[in-house]
Structure 1
Amino acid sequence: MVQENNNKGNQISRRSFLTTGATAAAGFMIVPRHVLGGKGYTAPSDRLRVAGIGVGGKGESDIAEFAKGPADIVVLCDVHDSRAANSVKRFPKAKYYKDYREMLDKEHKNIDAVSVSTPDHNHAVQAMAAMQLGKHVYVQKPLTHDIYEARKLTEAAKKYKVVTQMGNQGASGDGVRQLMEWYNAGLIGDVHTVYCWTNRPVWPQGIPWPTEKAEVPKDLDWNLWLGTAPQKDYVNKLVPFNWRGWWDYGTGALGDMGCHIVEPPFRVLGLGYPTSAEASVGSVYVDEFKQGYFPDSCPPSSHVIMNFQGKSGDIKLHWMDGGIQPARPEELGPNERMGDGGNGAIFIGTKGKMMCGTYGMYPSLLPSSRNKEVNVAKTIARVPEGHYVQWVNACIAGYGKKELSAPFEIAGPLTETILMGNLAIRSYDVRKPKASGNGFDYPGRYIKLLWDGPNMKITNFEDANQFVKRNYRDGFTLGA
């Protein structure tokens, strides 16, 4: 086990503890590992005790990846028993809970770190509860559902001195590092425009909330699944995947894929908070001469433009989803793949262009013939252990001891940027119901929203600020 943090960031290995001549907090002398177990023995203090909150689907694969490193999965928590079944079978010695609050209350002394892989709307409260107990946290992307939550988790990581990582694994990949080296070498000059796109959503969006109730699966605790979200009746096929298309729970295609696709330009160009955002969205057919916009549901497609102040001038970043793609660069051959096919990012600079796919994979200079001609030295360290084990090793080393690819100090501002795009998409005016009877108008989509990043506020359209921070359902809070 790793020594409990207690907000002091003083986690150290058993060997280094011995070197300083210290003794364990319980008063017994620590014995060298070779005495305990012989050659190759790994001391308990050099292994991370991990609890997983949300251990089906992506959560299942997350904890399996941690277990490939010096980590033990000791506690499992999930509100949906059948979704958790594979993890329960794989880690039979792990204790199992449904309510993360009960789990943390009873097991906090037996764990060092927590992995959160639940629907977006519960990320922040679960991660914050663990951090306040001094537990290191790994949180799936997007880091949070709301801008305010992302800011608070970023601040909490520093306050509680815990090791953090967001689940955008491309941040540890070679691709984004190759892009950074090309850019730093000046191969494409100063970037002024970036296009990011995805073929998602691959779940229903742009639809009205179903009017027919459905039976809650017998092994699902619906109340706990709702968590911070408003009380509603269960609807068919919402779980385990289609929740992504509803604003109460998910963050749409932009929230789902933005942390993978926007991350490379965000990191390569050193972007901060956007200064403004504007959005257009696809509508759906309702009946003759009538378009449909449904405020409960993310739109079927969108195009968001965000502006940033770069080191060498303004940078315009385009986000496109729902199958919308930018025009093919002239330097790209007619049969060459753009991005990875369904997703990608293109950087347009004053001297050239480069592109990549999801996670920063398949980095390429344009035209592709340049890749054979250019030889830039590797100046940025790679992450051979991968994104997951990098976090495990950093947790064992202790706060501030090892570099991470996506700590909250990086992942938080990236998530805020992603969610700023959603704020532009959602900016309706509740005071001006439309004659069509849907009860909402969307004037925020027809203006440029000016963003005060440090203060988390739209300065020229007050109704947009309702989406910076949610009100939680009773029983859930962000912090003590």
Structure 2
Amino acid sequence: MDINKNTSRRSFIKKTAIATAGISIVPRHVLGSGYIPPSDKLNIAVIGGGGKGYSDAINAWNNGASNISVICDVDWNMASNAFKKFPKAKKYKDFRKALEEVKDIDAVTVSTPDHTHAVIAMAAIQLGKHVYVQKPLTHDIYEARMLTEAANRYQVVTQMGNQGASGNGVKQMAKWFDAGVIGKVNKVHVWTNRPVWPQGIPTPTDKPKMMDGLDWDTWVGPAKMVDYHPLYHPFKWRGWWNFGTGALGDMGCHLMDPPFRVLGLGYPTEVETNVGAVFVKDWNPEYIPESCPPSSRTQLKFPATEKNPTELKLTWSDGGLRPFHPDLIPADHSIGDNDSSNGVIMIGEKGIMTCGTYGRNPKVYLNNGELLTFKDTQESTLPEHGHNAAWVEACKEGFGKEKHKALTSSFDYAGPLTESVLMGNLAIRSYMLRHQTKPNQFKYPGRKKLLWDGTNMAIKNFDEANQFVKREYRKGWKL
């Protein structure tokens, strides 16, 4: 998917020649990435037009503030609502063809399954297109690092679709923490009720009829080729390592964002996990390396930061598991969401700060018994529209400008956050490794604490775990 260097050089020469010829009004596509007059409309290509992609298209369009010029989806049935809403948009199934043929695209939204986020975003970035990519930013740690570096190298405006980052709740939590209300934090709990799709199940072996109109080869993309099955598409792909990133990938970038942002966290230094077992006949645990586990608990250790000058441990729980009520929170108070299904707890010296999904309903329980609450006047709606619209406006202003710097989840922030989330998945997959020692006897060498070198993207004490830092792409695909 790499752009030809000679093409880039020719484009630069062409731009220079036009500029020196004394032309005072230059088309925006000639001026290149990030130089669109604020009064102009962006031409946006929507990659992945169904489900979340449809709402991303609506938010980017913003009642006509932008043009939806391309809609690309491997399954046109899934994208039918987008086609109806934007009948003038050009329709494609393969994003590569769309990016090659439509020359006036300014920006791209990527709302596909996790395993194709990186290759699509990188292809757009290398063409100088601004990108909005759904969470998690990528499928593996290496991809997150590469996208973060590419966004700066190609100077494009970026945003990850974890809309809670733009919510008022997270902003209020940062104000409380910065004011020293709860003091230094050394423990964080984050949890979710996900998965709400099948996980911990055997790989399907039957071969049902292909869905009408589905381009399965492009849907599989860089992943290992498998036969089509409704347990993969639509939606249930989340529970398979080949395509998805499990409960952590689905909700981690939402729920780990408040502590990551408020406490100024960076790369973790250690990770340890355990997962729920699946048993089959005769009480034997099932080994299902292709499917994410039904539940897991993962602990990440973060070093002290300028904002929080003490190391801390962040514990993630999923599959219906959650932390118990801290003594400081009254027994009849929900923790996190109103039904306690998802949430965050940060335990400090002077009190506890908690919130629900997307940073909603933040509260502080102080050691002296005082309760601080925050009433968000927009709490009934997600901050999704504003999160996406802010990216659109920043695209018009350009890379490095004030609106771009003000984005809450540009890749310089979203990349390290995603790496930390995916570190949990690296530990889970390492935990599930098994080696046969004798006939019908196995050991699990991955069941240990893993020491992480964030700068070099490597586990220092268990080399086999490093296979999960960067996956192998299917032939014909590259980043």
| Band of TM-score, shorter chain | 0.7 to 0.9
Amino acid corresponding to residue 386 of structure 1 in structure 2:
G
Q: In structure 2, the residue corresponding to 1:297 is in which secondary structure?
A: coil
Amino acid corresponding to residue 85 of structure 1 in structure 2:
S
Contact 1:277 1:449 in 2 (8 A): yes
Contact 2:164 2:384 in 1 (8 A): no
Q: 1:294 to 1:321 in 2, by over 3 A?
A: same
Aligned-pair CA distance for 1:236: 2.8
Out of 296, 313, 316, the position equivalent to 2:310 is 313
CA distance in 2, matches of 1:249, 1:152: 19
Residue in 2 that maps onto 1:395? 395
Q: In structure 2, the residue corresponding to 1:413 is in which secondary structure?
A: helix
Describe how 1:367-378 pairs up with structure 2 within 5 A.
370-371=370-371
Q: In structure 2, the residue corresponding to 1:427 is in which secondary structure?
A: helix
Q: 1:26 to 1:147 in 2, by over 3 A?
A: closer
CA distance in 2, matches of 1:436, 1:165: 51
Which stretch of structure 1 is more off in the superposition, 364-373 or 45-54? 364-373
CA distance in 2, matches of 1:429, 1:198: 21
Amino acid corresponding to residue 328 of structure 2 in structure 1:
E
Q: In structure 1, the residue corresponding to 2:291 is in which secondary structure?
A: coil
CA distance in 2, matches of 1:392, 1:366: 38
Q: Are residue 25 (structure 1) and residue 26 (structure 2) matched?
A: yes
Describe how 1:418-429 pairs up with structure 2 within 5 A.
418-427=421-430
CA distance in 1, matches of 2:248, 2:348: 24
Q: 1:186 to 1:208 in 2, by over 3 A?
A: same
Contact 2:208 2:229 in 1 (8 A): yes
CA distance in 2, matches of 1:51, 1:373: 41
Q: In structure 2, the residue corresponding to 1:83 is in which secondary structure?
A: coil
Contact 1:426 1:442 in 2 (8 A): no
Residue in 1 that maps onto 2:410? 407
Aligned structure 1 segments of 4 or more residues deviating by more than 3 angstroms: 42-45, 367-375, 428-431, 434-437, 439-442
Describe how 1:41-440 pairs up with structure 2 within 5 A.
46-68=40-62, 70-107=65-102, 109-311=103-305, 312-340=309-337, 341-366=340-365, 370-371=370-371, 386-401=386-401, 402=403, 403-427=406-430, 432-433=435-436
Q: Are residue 442 (structure 1) and residue 444 (structure 2) matched?
A: yes
CA distance in 2, matches of 1:431, 1:322: 22
Aligned-pair CA distance for 1:68: 1.2
Q: In structure 2, the residue corresponding to 1:406 is in which secondary structure?
A: coil
Q: 1:44 to 1:320 in 2, by over 3 A?
A: closer
Q: 1:26 to 1:412 in 2, by over 3 A?
A: closer
Contact 1:269 1:310 in 2 (8 A): no
Amino acid corresponding to residue 81 of structure 2 in structure 1:
N
Contact 2:361 2:374 in 1 (8 A): no
CA distance in 1, matches of 2:438, 2:228: 30
- Structure 2: runs of 5 or more not aligned: 1-7, 13-21, 29-35, 376-382
Contact 2:365 2:372 in 1 (8 A): no
Q: CA offsets per residue over residues 83-112 of structure 1, 9 Å max, x none?
A: 0000000000000000000000001x2210
Q: 1:286 to 1:389 in 2, by over 3 A?
A: same
Contact 1:163 1:395 in 2 (8 A): yes
Q: Number of residues paired by the alignment?
A: 437
Amino acid corresponding to residue 110 of structure 1 in structure 2:
D
Residue in 2 that maps onto 1:454? 455
Aligned-pair CA distance for 1:44: 9.0
Q: 1:215 to 1:349 in 2, by over 3 A?
A: same
Which stretch of structure 1 is more off in the superposition, 63-72 or 421-430? 421-430
CA distance in 2, matches of 1:462, 1:249: 24
CA distance in 2, matches of 1:207, 1:303: 19
Q: CA offsets per residue over residues 144-200 of structure 1, 9 Å max, x none?
A: 001000000000000000000000000000011111010011111100000000000
Amino acid corresponding to residue 389 of structure 2 in structure 1:
V
Q: 1:384 to 1:457 in 2, by over 3 A?
A: closer
Aligned-pair CA distance for 1:332: 1.9
Which stretch of structure 1 is more off in the superposition, 402-411 or 43-52? 43-52
Which stretch of structure 1 is more off in the superposition, 73-82 or 280-289? 280-289
Q: In structure 1, the residue corresponding to 2:79 is in which secondary structure?
A: helix
Amino acid corresponding to residue 420 of structure 1 in structure 2:
M
CA distance in 2, matches of 1:415, 1:434: 36
Q: 1:365 to 1:431 in 2, by over 3 A?
A: closer
Q: In structure 1, the residue corresponding to 2:387 is in which secondary structure?
A: helix
Aligned-pair CA distance for 1:43: 8.2
Amino acid corresponding to residue 449 of structure 1 in structure 2:
L
CA distance in 2, matches of 1:374, 1:148: 38
CA distance in 2, matches of 1:444, 1:54: 36
Amino acid corresponding to residue 86 of structure 1 in structure 2:
N
Q: 1:435 to 1:243 in 2, by over 3 A?
A: farther
State the TM-score, normalized to the length of structure 1.
Answer: 0.87
- Structure 1: runs of 5 or more not aligned: 1-5, 11-20, 28-41, 376-382
Contact 1:73 1:91 in 2 (8 A): yes
Q: 1:458 to 1:59 in 2, by over 3 A?
A: same
Contact 1:332 1:367 in 2 (8 A): no
CA RMSD of aligned residues (A): 2.5
Q: 1:441 to 1:162 in 2, by over 3 A?
A: farther
Q: In structure 1, the residue corresponding to 2:59 is in which secondary structure?
A: helix
Amino acid corresponding to residue 48 of structure 2 in structure 1:
G
Contact 2:435 2:444 in 1 (8 A): no
CA distance in 1, matches of 2:477, 2:268: 30
Q: CA offsets per residue over residues 260-290 of structure 1, 9 Å max, x none?
A: 0001000000000000100000011212221
Which stretch of structure 1 is more off in the superposition, 365-374 or 464-473? 365-374
Aligned-pair CA distance for 1:430: 6.2
Q: CA offsets per residue over residues 372-423 of structure 1, 9 Å max, x none?
A: 5999xxxxxxx89710100000000111111211000000000000000000
Q: In structure 2, the residue corresponding to 1:331 is in which secondary structure?
A: coil
Contact 2:190 2:315 in 1 (8 A): yes
CA distance in 2, matches of 1:424, 1:26: 49
Residue in 2 that maps onto 1:31? none
Q: CA offsets per residue over residues 415-466 of structure 1, 9 Å max, x none?
A: 00000000000015868226685x9753222x11000000000010000000
